[in-house]
Structure 1
Amino acid sequence: MAKALFCPTCRDVVLIDNENFPFCSDRCRLLDLGKWASGDYKISSPIQDPDLLEELSRSQRNKPSDDDVN
Structure 2
Amino acid sequence: MAAPRPSPPTLQPRTVTCPGCGGPSRYASDNPYRPFCSARCKGVDLGAWASEQFRVPVDATPDPDAPPADPNPTR
TM-score (norm 1): 0.59
Q: Tell me the SS of whatever aligns to 1:5.
A: strand
- What is the aligned length? 51
Amino acid at match of 1:22: P
Separation (CA, whole Å) in 1 of partners of 2:58 and 2:20:
23
Name stretches of at least 5 consecutive residues in structure 1 with no aligned partner: 47-53, 60-70
Name stretches of at least 5 consecutive residues in structure 2 with no aligned partner: 1-11, 60-66, 71-75
Counterpart residue number, 1:38: 51
CA 1:3–1:38 in 2, change beyond 3 Å: closer, same or farther? same
Determine which structure has more spread, i.e. the larger CA radius of gyration: 2
Separation (CA, whole Å) in 2 of partners of 1:15 and 1:45:
35
The equivalent position to 1:9 in structure 2, one of 16, 20, 33, is: 20
Moved more, 1-10 or 30-39: 1-10
